[in-house]
Structure formats: structure tokens, C-alpha cells
Chain A
Amino acid sequence: EVKLVESGGGLVQPGRSLKLSCAASGFSFNDYWMGWVRQAPGKGLEWIGEINQDSSTINYTPSLKDKFTISRDNAQNTLYLQMSKLGSEDTAIYYCARALTSYWYFDFWGPGTMVTVSS
């Protein structure tokens, strides 16, 4: 069974950093592109970015490129999202998802982890 579980969310002060993790199981993690999507409270989905199998290609939505860094550890079957200079606008549920590159869609999503940026 494919399983993605995010962790690392919580309450963080404005201007601080936070690193999220996504533990993958039930599939060959190093064969897939992976991505991050977020959803602010009561709002729609926002594509953050994606990373290929060997981390040689990482794509970001331009507005987040200088704040967020996506990485992965294939030995640990884990995807990461390093977030810096957090502001209230970054308050959201953060989802990791598996990408299928035949048509570039997300076929499996984790349950998400909530990040709240507040003093």
C-alpha cells in the first residue's frame, strides 16, 4: 500500500525557519518524482514544487523559490521541505504527493501537516 506521511508542522514565529518531512512507504521511492502542495485555511491548492528521482532537477513556483528548498533522501525514503523567513501568508496545510511523469499529475497524497506562523 502506498503511504505518505508528513511531519514537522506546528506553530512557528514569523521570520523563523521550519523543515517538514514526508516519509514514503509501499513503493519504490527512488523511482518517482515527488512534490509539495499547500493549502491555506479555507483556500485552494497551491503547487509549491517538485523534485526528480536523483535530485538533479528541482522546480519551484517562482514566488517561493527564494524561501523554500525541496530535497530528498532516497536511502531514508524521505522527502523534505525546508522553509525559511516564514510569514503569516505561509500558514497552511502542507501536503507531499507522488508525481507520475507520464502526464505530470499527483496520484497519491499524504494527509498533510499544518504549519501556523504566528507570534
Chain B
Amino acid sequence: DIVLTQSPALAVSLGQRATISCRASQSVSTSSYNLMHWYQQKPGQQPKLLIYDASNLASSIPARFSGSGSGTDFTLTINPVQADDIATYYCQQSRELPNTFGAGTKLELK
């Protein structure tokens, strides 16, 4: 299985930039796609799609969210961070079966 590694937590101040990383144990990119996706989960709620194919913003997601990366290293950026962004963020790869998720990064206020 492809293992996705995320830092457990990140502390950030409101209005600042947050950079959340996800590293895959092997490449999740093809010649055409970067099969890494990002979800936001707030306490007591289901996950919500933010970014698909590494850098495509999902419908209705604010432009302060962006994604980048290819191969094994991917990044979710939130700039500027707002209070409503405090949540846990998960990466997911769909390059190989079984699809796998990272353990999540909890975004906290500094």
C-alpha cells in the first residue's frame, strides 16, 4: 500500500499562511495526472473535498486554498488563514488500490 505521511499538527496565526505537507512512499503521479487529493474535516462533521488532482480547487472552495506538488511531495496552502479554517486536513492518493489517506494534520491557532 502507498503510505502517506503528514505532520500531526501545525500552529498558525490568523491572517498568516499555512502550509500542510503530504509525502507519499512512492510516486502518485502519471504522465497526465497527479492523483493526490485534499479534504477538510471539522469536529463532528464529514470530510469535505478541497483540492483534487493536486491543484484543482473543488466547487465552492474559497481561493485562499491552493494545492501543489507532483511525484511524492504535495502541499496544501491556506493563505490567509481564517478562523473557519481550523480543522483537520487529510491527503488521499488514488494512484493505486487500495486508495489510502494520510493520518491528518490538525491546524491549530498559535
Q: Report A's interface with B, CB cutoff 8 A.
A: 37, 44-47, 49-50, 59-62, 95, 100, 103-112
Contacts and interface: CB of A to CB of B under 8 A. Distances in A.
Interface residues of B, number: 26
Given A103-B53, A107-B58, A62 B98 contact: yes
Given A103-B53, A105-B94, A107-B58, A46 B101 contact: yes
A47 B99 CA distance: 6
Nearest to A45: B101
B52 to A, nearest CB: 5
A104 B35 contact: yes
Given A37-B47, A45-B41, 16 more contacts: A44-B103, A45-B92, A47-B98, A47-B100, A47-B101, A49-B98, A60-B98, A62-B1, A103-B53, A103-B56, A105-B37, A108-B49, A109-B46, A111-B45, A111-B46, A112-B46
A17 B73 CA distance: 40
Contacts of B39: 45, 106
B83 interface: no
A95 B49 CA distance: 14
A95 B99 contact: no
Given A60-B98, A103-B53, A45 B35 contact: no
B65 interface: no
A77 B58 CA distance: 25
B19 to A, nearest CB: 20
Contacts of B56: 103
Interface string B1-18: 100000000000000000
